[in-house]
Amino acid sequence: MLEIQNLQVCYGRVTAVRDVSIALREGEIVTLVGANGAGKSTLLKTVHGIVPAVHGNLIFEGADVAKLSTAERVQLGIALVPEGRHVFANLSVEANLELGFTRPGGSSFKERQAEVFDFFPRLLERRTQKAGTLSGGEQQMLAIGRALMSRPRLLMMDEPTLGLAPVIIKLIKERLQALKSKGYAILLAEQNVHMALSVADRGYVISNGEVVGSGSSSELLQSQDVQRAYLGAA
Amino acid sequence: MLDLIAQQVLNGLSLGMGYVLVALGLTLVFGVLHIVNFAHGVFYMLGGLITLLCVTKLGLPLTLALVLATVCVGAIAYLIDIIGVRPVAHGPKGHDTVMLSTFAIGLFIFEVTLVSWGTAPQRVAGYSGLLTFFDLTLTVHRATVLVVGAVLLAAIWFTLNKTKFGKQMRALAENPFAARVVGVPVERVGSATFIIAGALAGIAGALLVPISLFTPLIGQNVILKAFVIVVMGGMGSVVGAMVCGLALGVLEAVGSIYIPAGFNLALIYSTLLIVLLIRPKGLFGGRL
Amino acid sequence: MRNHRSSAIAGIGALALCALGFALSSPYYSSIAVMAGVFTLLGLSVNLVFGYLGFVSFGHAAFFGLGAYTVALLTLGLGISPWLAVPFAIIPTLALGALVGFASLRVGGAYFAIASMVTAEILRLVAGNWLDVTRGHLGLIVPSAQIPILDSIGIPSTAYQLVIVVSAVVLVYVALRRLFASPVGRSWIAVRESVDLAESIGIPTVRARVLNLTVSGGLAGLAGALLVPKILVVSPELFGAGYSSLGLLMVILGGKGTLIGPVLGGTIFAIVPELLRILDDYRGALFAILILLMIRIKPDGLADLLPTALSPLGGERRNEKADQSRPPARLLQADRPVRPDARPLLTVKNASKSFAGVRAVADLTFTVQEGEIVGLIGPNGAGKTTSLKLISGFLTPSSGTVNFDGHELGQRPPHEVAALGLVRTFQHTELYGNLSAVDNVMIGTHLLSPTTLIGALLRTAHFRSTEAQRRATAHEMLGLVGLADKADIRASDLPYGEQKLLAIALALAARPRALLLDEPAAGLNHSEALRLGKLLQELKSRGLTIVIVEHNVPLVMSICDRVVVLHHGEVVTVGTPFEVQRNETVKAAYLGMADDHAEDVILA
């Protein structure tokens, strides 16, 4: 469904992503692991159209999306839950969800919202509250819910467990597994290797903007590549 | 004496309502687009000018003239957006460049109008009639200004809080990055905001020209007052613009009883400097 | 060194004399020349603020008009010649400039532009309405500005008017040139591009801004004052938008950030309107179009077309090379003795920082001995950058203490922390992209051998020797990071890895005792990271203490003496690299909570 071919992304003089090729099929959860600054975030932002690619191809469901704006890519069914959540703090939970409702496809806002509330009951409790008053974990749920409002074909998540307490991480992980069973295709960038590999089918190890390893989750859990990428030779 | 003050308060409110509309436009643009439009004053001036021309030269009824003026100013705002804002807003030092660019455009339009029109003030008749209650009088035109202004304010409030477009504006104001991420069409929302802002100033100019005479200078004067209002009320705050705008109108009207016009204005402008020194965020913070 | 400077002066002087000679022959031309001179001064003053400090001012006419009115009022009130009043007229404008300077600290950018516009308008309204003092719109009329002595020997007033104005312009030009080739001018450029970077190497940015606006105000006031003997009528329009836009336009047209720009602009604006008399009414509209066109087509102004010899930082650079024969100096400040006892140089004790109820960093505690390299690592969101900001004065701890060299850092602004000897670098490599490498490092020398403003203006021997020392230091630091041969290359043209090295050279130029590096290896490839590691070890051998915040854990492990690991805003452990790599909690922090046997597999 998603094919990234030989992607190169630069910020000014820095090459953040160097010749990266990644593939993702329908219903798969693929994770990108690697230290901070390795380029995982940049990769997701480039797929979403926030950062332009210097070189390479981005094929989504057979179409070349490299020239499309973010708004257009959202209409095609790509959604991103950005790092740091970025909820609209001064808007209510409902308003936040409404902003995510970009692809009706037959359903009404109320219907889609009900699905999200079903999925994250805590949000239903807080529906009229301003998003800024929610806890970190709840904001993360809101950010995910907001992305789900567009019923995306491809859901991308950038460090969803960042700064969250372990019990919330467990909840997020469980919700991710629920999404998987619903057939969502998810591209997940995570620093928390264990969580990521326990949820994903496959993974890519990113270091310094390049893919330095890949395989199924179990393969990666066994390999030394991951540990080396994070902590250096022990 | 008390009667005089009360009367001036009433007059000041209608004047203030006009200022509120102008300031609202300025603050919306700042909140959503994060830029300051130094050409904002010409929207007001052109609103007044077109109304004047429609009534005196084309003989159109006032209401039609008002509508025409608003539409024309909206179109001009769109042009200014394309010529002076969009091409430069995203470069390095974009904010500075937009300030300079809009300043230049505003100056150009003002100067051309000055040369073609001259400085002779001209008057146009507003809605005629007089309302009285207690011991106070209010011209029908001034009452119209108050009513139209209130309706527009309500419409803006409604848009911002109850429509998707309004939420998109607020999203863009609060977190442009997140707005882009969720698929808000950033350019379109920005342009629409700019046009609405211009139209608001245009209506204000059109409505107030029967009250306060037309000269090309009215744009320059009003923008300074708008700045005072916006800074005092807080850049990006709608409530702030409302409260401070009405307050300014009242202060100006009441002040004119005691202080000659020039000093009156000088004092009002000085309050801006004081606020900047003490509380730059303004009295109402900076949220849309 | 001498050659270049005197040739610059000679050049200006020669041009001025030629112009003078031609102008003196005709009152008409000398009148235009006087206008050109006045406009040039106005342009230079706007340039100071807009070009060198980066603030857009729509109200410089406030100073201009104030200078003119002061001359008129003094002349009429005291019965003296306007020429005598001119120097005194500068005083209120200096004061207004200082006031505006202080105000500018609270607000920047758009607010400053608005405030400047409003200030000029207030003065215009006062001048137009305070009939008792200013006669309102009738204006004040100054009796003809003759100097009897010169009259008696037959020199026409237009002639000596011209000479005085041109002399003033030349003096101001030379003074500004000297200012820009000194720490004062460099501090303005530093503040313009990055306040944080300027603070980090010890530039008191508040003082720098106030000084800039004071000088700028005085200069514009001088321009207005010098206009009075020529126009003889002082009216409120001197405070008007016309003169403010003129000042701005001159800078935009001529080129901001250069000295020659406003000179070009001033000349053009004096001459052109005369040539285009018929377009008099349309002058304002023409100005506006010109501003617009220049912004879009040639934002750097016409001065861009001139050879680069007239660089913003003065032409001294090429003539001063580092003294290669001297042995490499110790990096520590020469006048500070090495601490004899074994007390740590940096002590952080229970430092905490909360933002709106969220605890970013809690109970941060560790010490750094002099001469150590200590690494600060942790997963994303662990609080490393917050910790670094706490240590360097960019953030104040909500509780706890940070002590450097016996001094409590607490409430001190970053430039004071830098003056104590602790300098930080920035993750997003802050540099002055448009300046050459050596000019960048020169900005870092701000703290060394401080000099006075007078010294800079008069080029005293003391100033020259301290400037030479600063230049030598700059070259030395470039050499230390391996960029000696790239001294004259524009910083933004350097490859990324070398830009990071340049940023370190800039920090070193302040001759710190301790260097705080914020992710210096971010974005570096393997060989660049190795080069960086070698440099840091070299610096350590010269006595520098280093704290490095990094994600590149292999680099940290290879060069650090000790490592502090953060997670969730707290210290997990402190130890040698060897210890840390084997620490269970560290592994869990980085790799995440394990379930079942996955953990055993990883740790095997």
The pLDDT mean for chain C works out to 82
The pLDDT mean for chain A works out to 87
| Residue B287, in any domain of the structure | no
Residue B199 is predicted with a pLDDT of 96
User: Above 80 in pLDDT, residue C148?
Assistant: no
Contacts of B266 in chain C (CB under 8 A): 122, 125-126, 129
Which one-letter amino acid corresponds to residue C192?
R
Task: Please answer yes or no on whether C285 and B260 come within 8 Å at the CB atom.
Answer: no
User: How does residue B66 score in pLDDT terms, banded at 50, 70 and 90?
Assistant: very high
The DSSP string of B205-266 is: HHHHHHHH-B-TTHHHHHHHHHHHHHHHH-TT-HHHHHHHHHHHHHHHHHHHHHS-HHHHHH
Q: Does B168 touch chain A (CB under 8 A)?
A: yes
| Residue A20, in any domain of the structure | no
Q: Does C356 touch chain A (CB under 8 A)?
A: no
More confidently predicted of C280 and C604: C280
Give yes or no for a contact between C303 and C266, defined as CB atoms under 8 angstroms apart.
no
Residue C5 is predicted with a pLDDT of 52
Going C524 to C527 to C531 to C536, the CA torsion angle's sign is: positive
Number of structural domains found in chain C: 2
Residue B193 is predicted with a pLDDT of 96
Contacts of C54 in chain B (CB under 8 A): 93, 96
- Please give the residue range of the domain that contains residue A114: 28-51+68-231
User: Above 60 in pLDDT, residue A143?
Assistant: yes
Residue C518, min C-alpha distance to chain A (Å)? 13
Task: Please answer yes or no on whether A162 and C557 come within 8 Å at the CB atom.
Answer: no
More confidently predicted of C148 and A141: A141
Contacts of residue A73, Cβ cutoff 8 Å, sequence gap at least 6: A48, A49, A60, A65, B183
Contacts of B105 in chain C (CB under 8 A): 288, 292
Q: Which of A13, A15, A193 sits opposite C591 (nearest CB)?
A: A193
Task: Please answer yes or no on whether A35 and C553 come within 8 Å at the CB atom.
Answer: yes
Cα separations (Å) of A223 from A213, A215, C580, C581, C601?
9, 10, 21, 18, 9
Task: Please answer yes or no on whether A99 and B177 come within 8 Å at the CB atom.
Answer: no
State pLDDT tens for residues C66-99: 999 999 999 988 888 888 889 999 999 999 998 8
| Residue C470, in any domain of the structure | yes
| Residue A14, in any domain of the structure | no
| Residue C65, in any domain of the structure | yes
**Closest alpha carbon within chain C to B259:** C129
| Residue B286, in any domain of the structure | no
Contacts of A86 in chain B (CB under 8 A): 175, 177-178, 181
Give yes or no for a contact between B113 and B76, defined as CB atoms under 8 angstroms apart.
no
User: How does residue B284 score in pLDDT terms, banded at 50, 70 and 90?
Assistant: low
Alpha carbon distance C483, C477 (integer Å): 9
Contacts of A35 in chain C (CB under 8 A): 551-553
State pLDDT tens for residues C228-249: 988 889 999 999 888 888 888 8
State pLDDT tens for residues C11-22: 666 666 666 666
pTM of the model: 0.85
Q: Does C568 touch chain A (CB under 8 A)?
A: yes
| Residue A138, in any domain of the structure | yes
Pairing of strands C373-377, A78-81: unpaired
Alpha carbon distance C329, C528 (integer Å): 26
Give the C window 367-386 contacts with A, CB below 8 Å.
379-381
User: How does residue C554 score in pLDDT terms, banded at 50, 70 and 90?
Assistant: confident
Q: Which of C381, C525, C593 sits opposite A194 (nearest CB)?
A: C593
State pLDDT tens for residues B245-259: 999 999 999 988 888
C190 and C294 inside one domain: yes
Q: Which of C519, C551, C601 sits opposite A221 (nearest CB)?
A: C601
Domain boundary among C275, C306, C337: C306
Q: Does A25 touch chain C (CB under 8 A)?
A: no
Residue C316 is predicted with a pLDDT of 39
Pairing of strands C545-549, C514-518: parallel
Task: Please answer yes or no on whether B183 and A91 come within 8 Å at the CB atom.
Answer: no
Task: Please answer yes or no on whether A87 and B178 come within 8 Å at the CB atom.
Answer: yes
State pLDDT tens for residues C479-498: 999 899 988 888 888 888 88
Q: Which of B164, B175, B181 sits opposite A70 (nearest CB)?
A: B181
Give this complex's ipTM: 0.90
Contacts of C115 in chain B (CB under 8 A): 272-273, 276
| Residue B163, in any domain of the structure | yes
| Residue A172, in any domain of the structure | yes
CATH number of the CATH domain containing C480? 3.40.50.300
| Residue C510, in any domain of the structure | yes
| Residue A37, in any domain of the structure | yes
Residue A164, min C-alpha distance to chain C (Å)? 9
Task: Please answer yes or no on whether C110 and B95 come within 8 Å at the CB atom.
Answer: yes
Q: CB burial class (10 A; 0-12, 13-18, 19+) of residue C316?
A: middle
Mean pLDDT value of segment B99-115: 90
C296 and C371 inside one domain: no
| Residue C216, in any domain of the structure | yes
CATH number of the CATH domain containing C267? 1.10.3470
Q: Which of B177, B182, B288 sits opposite A99 (nearest CB)?
A: B182
Q: Does C530 touch chain A (CB under 8 A)?
A: no
User: Above 70 in pLDDT, residue A198?
Assistant: yes
C167 and C231 inside one domain: yes
| Residue A23, in any domain of the structure | no
Q: Does A59 touch chain B (CB under 8 A)?
A: no
Number of H helices, E strands in chain A: 10, 10
Task: Please answer yes or no on whether C590 and A231 come within 8 Å at the CB atom.
Answer: yes
Mean pLDDT value of segment C354-361: 79
Task: Please answer yes or no on whether A74 and B183 come within 8 Å at the CB atom.
Answer: yes
C274 and C376 inside one domain: no
| Residue A134, in any domain of the structure | yes
Based on C-alpha coordinates, what's the Rg of chain A? 17
Give me the count of residues in chain A.
Answer: 234
- Please give the residue range of the domain that contains residue C68: 2-306
User: Above 70 in pLDDT, residue C321?
Assistant: no
Residue C314 is predicted with a pLDDT of 44
Please state whether A159 falls in left (phi above 0), alpha (psi between -120 and 50) or beta.
left
CATH number of the CATH domain containing B237? 1.10.3470
| Residue B283, in any domain of the structure | no
Alpha carbon distance C181, C457 (integer Å): 10
Q: What distance separates the 2 farthest-apart alpha carbons in chain B?
A: 59
Q: Does A163 touch chain C (CB under 8 A)?
A: yes
CATH number of the CATH domain containing A135? 3.40.50.300
Query: For the ranges C259-273, C440-454, C541-555, which has the lowest average pLDDT?
Result: C259-273
Task: Please answer yes or no on whether C381 and A163 come within 8 Å at the CB atom.
Answer: yes
| Residue A221, in any domain of the structure | yes
Alpha carbon distance A20, B149 (integer Å): 57
Residue C594 is predicted with a pLDDT of 45
Residue B35, min C-alpha distance to chain A (Å)? 20
Task: Please answer yes or no on whether A193 and C568 come within 8 Å at the CB atom.
Answer: no
Cα separations (Å) of A14 from A6, C277, C504, C522?
17, 54, 17, 9
Give yes or no for a contact between A117 and A124, defined as CB atoms under 8 angstroms apart.
yes
Mean pLDDT value of segment B56-66: 89
Residue C323 is predicted with a pLDDT of 40
Residue B62, min C-alpha distance to chain C (Å)? 31
User: How does residue C23 score in pLDDT terms, banded at 50, 70 and 90?
Assistant: low
- Residues of C near B (CB-CB distance < 8 A)? 54, 56, 58, 103, 106-107, 109-111, 113-115, 117-119, 121-122, 125-126, 128-129, 241, 245, 248, 252, 281-282, 284-285, 287-289, 291-292, 295-296, 299
| Residue C436, in any domain of the structure | yes
CB pairs under 8 A between A and C: 75
C475 and C591 inside one domain: yes
Alpha carbon distance B32, B29 (integer Å): 5
Q: Does A92 touch chain B (CB under 8 A)?
A: no
State pLDDT tens for residues C396-454: 888 899 999 888 887 889 999 999 999 999 988 788 888 899 999 999 998 887 777 88
C371 and C222 inside one domain: no
C530 and C453 inside one domain: yes
Residue C3 is predicted with a pLDDT of 41
**Closest alpha carbon within chain A to B183:** A71
C266 and C393 inside one domain: no
Q: Does B185 touch chain A (CB under 8 A)?
A: yes
User: Above 70 in pLDDT, residue C329?
Assistant: no
Task: Please answer yes or no on whether C292 and B220 come within 8 Å at the CB atom.
Answer: no
| Residue B133, in any domain of the structure | yes
Residue C129, min C-alpha distance to chain B (Å)? 6
